[in-house]
């Protein structure tokens, strides 16, 4: 499994920004978005709106971790 960082451009609240995540995190983000019936941009925008004082990439990783923990307990 490659863990290289991949930078992607996303649109949040009408502006473009880039997000850098390792490939496995992008894979999980796609899975979560599909499960929730959202586009990746919409999911990232939701995470962005709820994040505290952390950077966006970290907030995304934490969201993925929370999702994996929730699914592990079901």
Residue 2 confidence (pLDDT): 53
Q: What's the CATH number where 41 sits?
A: 1.10.3990.20
The domain total for the chain is 1
User: What DSSP character marks residue 21?
Assistant: E
pTM, two decimal places:
0.88
Distant-in-sequence, close-in-space partners of 30: CB < 8 Å, separation ≥ 6: 40
List pLDDT tens digits, range 32-67.
Answer: 999 999 999 999 999 999 998 889 999 999 999 999
Q: Residue 48 sits in which domain range? A: 5-72
The two structure tokens encoding residue 61: 């990783």
């Amino acid at each position: 499994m490659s863990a290289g960082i991949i930078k992607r451009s996303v649109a949040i609240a009408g502006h473009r920004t880039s997000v850098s995540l390792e490939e496995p995190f992008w894979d999980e983000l796609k899975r979560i978005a599909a499960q929730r019936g959202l586009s990746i941009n919409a999911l990232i925008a939701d995470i962005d709106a709820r994040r505290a004082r952390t950077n966006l990439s970290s907030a995304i990783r934490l969201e993925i971790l929370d999702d994996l923990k929730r699914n592990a307990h079901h």
